[in-house]
Structure 1
């Protein structure tokens, strides 16, 4: 077989990949995908020409399509070849900061301490446990793992062994039966998030013969230690459609359906309540949710906790003989907490407990004996509120102006200690535990950063930029101490702004390589996230989506005006829905960005949202709008990056995707790049990299992703003129 590079170069002269004029004398000729007439018609009659529609192949087997992707990869290799020494340097810098034989903070559950650890030079974790006993706690186990004392350890899953010989491998979830004897795990071997469930006898280490394919990563055992609940995916749309149960030793083909979701706007998930009494089936869409529950001791009949209703979201947990529910019912836009007695079957059974506030978003809660921990958001920052049974309360303190804080793994409720995570753009990820009774705080673990890293060498700030409509947009940024705000620096601006996902400021071990070269790194907390509460999300979705894009541009302008960056040295970065943001700002303000990094970008919004057979489409009508409605069609068409490419000078771009991506299909960025090459009047390079064996999250393994990132960052630094 001839090498792919040879095949790709050969195909540049084929009828499907015609030659084009080089974008610059120093660059090779980029691929030029053939055009084939294709009309995309909406139900209301609107039509659009899509000459690159042929690049879509649901089976990923079309030779012409694969030839184009390989040709683009060969072109990327050629364009990026001069940066190879810098790529290697960036990779080496990042990996040198990582403690390779690291381990997570252990947590106790049913008489065992569970954790994951890594071995030097290996890409994947080892999931293990140790028995509880006198003198055994998280600190002692962390110390033992640090010095390599594993004599009393039981390995549950050595993911390195499971991944051997595979281009991609990931364990979606693993669960141990209540009697601690049987392990079930869900594995994904191509990145498409279609898992296979396997079982292992933990006493003998022997795997059971049966496997269950085509499922999500959610697993829940019943109290009999032989019955496992799981969720079956639709093989085409990948939607979670059926909850089924399997009895160990039986044929999975005969597994009965416990619940089938008829509405394809809803996702399914399963779990157990805090007190382990109930198994829960949760159904959620963008705007509403529903919960069903059954006794874990006899999970035969699942009862509806409260019927679903439009614009009413809720999630519930059970502990101390009552239900506690987080909900936006009755106009609680930022959510409130309510309670209900056992046997509750409707919202009329709910009683208010922690009321709604316009300035505080309740994001999560955890129930303990004697107190409740509430994860909140106020003023764009996270905090943890501790509410005692006697009504007194306090907040967990933070020591920096911009940070990220949240509840960590709190596996057992009968304790005075609450664990929480803390990080900032200068503080590596940390796990603390706080004694609610005494106030004692202990640092259990801080992400080790090897080498000469000193957090005092870096400065983080929290700023507020004014958007064009007068809205104040929060900005988090970090730079190396000694930075001069003289308007000469290079800056990388990151953004997301969708689904109400908040992009909180956290530590990045690879970003240090940018900061140490004099760059500024910033996060624009644009509308569409939830940093400033639910309204912040509502003002960046549906018919207000453009606010997300203009906020990002306005933050860029603010940072330039304030001297944090030179106007011609600003880069932008986003992925997935953040890739939509990148495509939109590239069309709207191409002259304001020197380079754009776009990973797995959602750029063909109209065509995708018109096709319910594509995974995730139907679940997202309430996020983007359904273009079968002409009002939404026209609005989405006005910003969809693929549809708004036009003859103008675009910045340098690095665009990445995965062939097996189930969330943003590879053909979206492939079509986008093909059309961009037709209209772009700039000489700046456009690099399109497809991982042929990866999905939405890129390649598996903790080191391989840094190799990919080093390639992208080397491109970035070269374009910005950073040494």
Structure 2
């Protein structure tokens, strides 16, 4: 039985609109070792985003989506209304205190963007609005503030804004008390700002205008021309990313550079910035990050074969690894994810058994006992992490907690007495956490590896093999997809669906080896893990074999493309957002943003062994004549991370080879980049469209008590 005959035709299937047919134009992509490939849709790449033929094709694809989705507009509207209806519109963040001021953000009813504000001394004082993003975004299709920083004397605000979505930011400045915006403008930078102690000097990271790589750190003195800005550091190895920050005790300004397999930190006194001194010279396969408090460095590193990382200490004047002393040793079963320094204790973020936890170490780093106590969790599958802890002299630890059933929650823990205070839980209108159930499962992959799975469904669900399932995963860069509350997913659960997160290799949920076993020449483990999790969930009765939807974005879109080629019969519908699907061509082109930074993630295809391996899984190169699932593919014209032309080419070639009658929809956001449209509501409109498509393809009926969407 073919995929196209398993479920009756849906509303989208019934629309007879003809999909666009992109022109084919001969083009050969060559590799340095002599290999070559034909790419008949290469012409869809236009770095200026102005080619009329290319734009006409994208608009035609959007029109095709509009036509196919027209019968589903009532369902889309209903899902959108459900999602937005759960949001408390006049919401605010938990305030935190820094240098005598309480900082927070808040939303107003009906507004898409936050207001950043503060109050002096207490939350009962008069509010000072620092940035009203709603006013700043007025009349713009896209707007984002990526970072902001206040001078040490609390007077001047610097912020980085982007009104295109390409993540090329402009830095602006204002006097917070008077509202005066200074004439200074710094363009072409990343959203990363740090003030020196003189309250006039700001450090920023300049991007390469073509590749968008972070290449130079400069300092700007407020009120002077940007042409006078001084270069303080330039990175010549284009496999490294760069960032700047102040240390925990505000004593140093530090520049951190990191590649996939190496890192380096250099710092200068914040009170009198001068030469940036290297804490320890970079070395391949040695990663470290560092923070400073109480006259010493604390360093998290994998040096010396500590695959899951360990903690070291060093004196303030350290300039080499020989001066580091071990504090918390390496453990095979515990991955050290990060740490936060306090005057009387250290909070350490760890991963064990595929879950996060926080441990508390008493005393001074390097002298404290390595024995620890753990912050307690309340559920079998959850996500826990450090929150904003702006004052190191506090005895209270703020941390976040969430699960697939528990909305985002901020707690404050008295580290002396163990008292726990609930500071805030994300308000979700009409949601009752007791009506939903989450589980932690373990699926066995084809090579015997046990893969953790987090799953959620509505109470009363019967594991009878009839339900529809949405399975999500990412599986790259060591990024862990922890089980947190997903407000839009409630609309699926209320309709009887099951939602699962597959914690596949390529992430770091199970430690560093989990990541290393899903990258480079082991990348296919990522894809087969996902397929094997699907098989497991179907076998265990969590889903019907012909009612499974798969969802991933960016590198998770690569995952979607790979599993669609490898096991199309296992998925009724595939949702792929900003997908990285043209792996070989992109990795051969060093002018494309992010390419050179990622040779240690995917491999450098200029080396034949990596080229040959990539070619075995690259979604665009492995499309072939077979029945594919229904697909919804999304991208942003201004995406700088995964360029729009990757999914555009992929869909064009897929249309040539797909033997299924299932719809393939390709939506391009013509105003946005990698993260989609800006604003808290606009992105839910895009998601509601994708959900409506999914519900239609899976034959999911309205939630209990709902009339059919067409009524």
Give the structure-1-normalised TM-score.
0.94
1:264 corresponds in structure 2 to 238
3-state SS, counterpart of residue 460 of structure 1: strand
Report the count of equivalent residues. 685
Residue 67 in structure 1 maps to residue 29 in structure 2: no
CA contact (8 A) 2:13 2:68 kept: no
* Moved segments of 4+, more than 3 Å: 23-26
Between the aligned partners of 2:674 and 2:198, the Cα distance in structure 1 is 36
Between the aligned partners of 2:687 and 2:417, the Cα distance in structure 1 is 44
Residue 384 in structure 1 maps to residue 361 in structure 2: no
1:17 corresponds in structure 2 to none
- Give the alignment of 1:474-485 within 5 angstroms: 474-485=452-463
The offset of 1:203, in angstroms, is 2.6
Between the aligned partners of 1:205 and 1:111, the Cα distance in structure 2 is 20
Out of 533, 536, 549, the position equivalent to 2:514 is 536
2:106 corresponds in structure 1 to 117
Out of 120, 126, 129, the position equivalent to 1:131 is 120
2:472 corresponds in structure 1 to 494
Between the aligned partners of 1:364 and 1:324, the Cα distance in structure 2 is 11
Residue 676 in structure 1 maps to residue 651 in structure 2: no
Between the aligned partners of 1:410 and 1:256, the Cα distance in structure 2 is 32
Residue 179 in structure 1 maps to residue 153 in structure 2: yes
Residue 313 in structure 1 maps to residue 274 in structure 2: no
Between the aligned partners of 1:711 and 1:647, the Cα distance in structure 2 is 28
Give the structure-2-normalised TM-score.
0.96
The offset of 1:492, in angstroms, is 0.3
The offset of 1:26, in angstroms, is 3.5
Out of 394, 413, 418, the position equivalent to 1:434 is 413
Between the aligned partners of 2:500 and 2:241, the Cα distance in structure 1 is 33
**Cα-to-partner distance string for 1:650-675 (whole Å, 9 max, x where unaligned):** 00000000000000000000000000
Between the aligned partners of 2:16 and 2:263, the Cα distance in structure 1 is 52
Residue 299 in structure 1 maps to residue 273 in structure 2: yes
Structure 1 residues without counterparts, runs of 5 or longer: 1-22, 145-150
Out of 189, 197, 200, the position equivalent to 1:226 is 200
2:7 corresponds in structure 1 to none
1:88 corresponds in structure 2 to 77
1:410 corresponds in structure 2 to 389
Out of 336, 339, 342, the position equivalent to 1:365 is 339
Between the aligned partners of 2:464 and 2:253, the Cα distance in structure 1 is 58
**Cα-to-partner distance string for 1:47-95 (whole Å, 9 max, x where unaligned):** 0000000000001000000000000000000001111000000000011
**Cα-to-partner distance string for 1:293-341 (whole Å, 9 max, x where unaligned):** 0000111111011000000000000001000000000000000000000
CA contact (8 A) 2:103 2:117 kept: yes
1:630 corresponds in structure 2 to 608
Between the aligned partners of 1:202 and 1:483, the Cα distance in structure 2 is 53
1:393 corresponds in structure 2 to 372
Residue 203 in structure 1 maps to residue 177 in structure 2: yes
3-state SS, counterpart of residue 487 of structure 2: coil
1:279 corresponds in structure 2 to 253
Between the aligned partners of 1:182 and 1:494, the Cα distance in structure 2 is 43
The offset of 1:24, in angstroms, is 6.5
CA RMSD of aligned residues (A): 0.9
3-state SS, counterpart of residue 478 of structure 1: strand
2:547 corresponds in structure 1 to 569
Out of 220, 225, 233, the position equivalent to 1:251 is 225
The more displaced of 610-619 and 195-204 is: 195-204
CA contact (8 A) 2:584 2:615 kept: yes
Between the aligned partners of 1:131 and 1:354, the Cα distance in structure 2 is 39
Out of 152, 160, 164, the position equivalent to 1:190 is 164
Structure 2 residues without counterparts, runs of 5 or longer: 1-11, 702-711
Out of 356, 366, 375, the position equivalent to 2:330 is 356
The offset of 1:254, in angstroms, is 1.7
Between the aligned partners of 1:45 and 1:244, the Cα distance in structure 2 is 41
The offset of 1:25, in angstroms, is 6.7
Between the aligned partners of 1:329 and 1:409, the Cα distance in structure 2 is 28
3-state SS, counterpart of residue 306 of structure 1: coil
The offset of 1:256, in angstroms, is 1.1
1:648 corresponds in structure 2 to 626
3-state SS, counterpart of residue 674 of structure 1: helix
The offset of 1:32, in angstroms, is 0.3
